[in-house]
Amino acid sequence: MANTNKIIYTRRIAMKLIEMGHIAAGTMPNPSKPEFLCWIFPVTPKFERDLQSILDERKAIRGVRATTGVLDEAPQLPAHN
């Protein structure tokens, strides 16, 4: 089964995705830094395009390769009814 969620570790990226209309499926403590939150988003083609757009913009602003703040392996969340 393909993973259908992504964890976003960066608050700024998570907030931009939310501003673009994406709804986080949940949050969880950052495993490395429990005082910080991570956001879990369902992956859709629009999510992938928007995330790539944010990362490209971030890379252009920094002028160097940006740290993505994204983990490809996210836990599966129960479906909301």
Q: How far is CA 67 from each of CA 5, 29, 51, 54, rounded to the nearest angstrom?
A: 19, 19, 13, 12
- The number of distinct structural domains making up the chain is 1
Give domain status of residue 76, yes or no: no
Give domain status of residue 67, yes or no: yes
Torsion of CA 75, 23, 44, 11, to 10 degrees: -70
Residue 59 has a pLDDT of 75
Q: Give the tens place of pLDDT for each residue, 25-71.
A: 999 999 899 999 999 999 999 999 999 999 988 777 665 544 555 65
Residue 58 has a pLDDT of 77
Residue 76 has a pLDDT of 61
Residue 19 pLDDT greater than 50, yes or no: yes
Q: Note the helical H segments in the chain.
A: 11-19, 45-62
Residue 65's domain comprises: 5-71
Give domain status of residue 79, yes or no: no
Residue 8 pLDDT greater than 60, yes or no: yes
Give domain status of residue 80, yes or no: no
Q: Which residue has the tokens 């005082």?
A: 35
Residue 22 has a pLDDT of 97
Give domain status of residue 77, yes or no: no
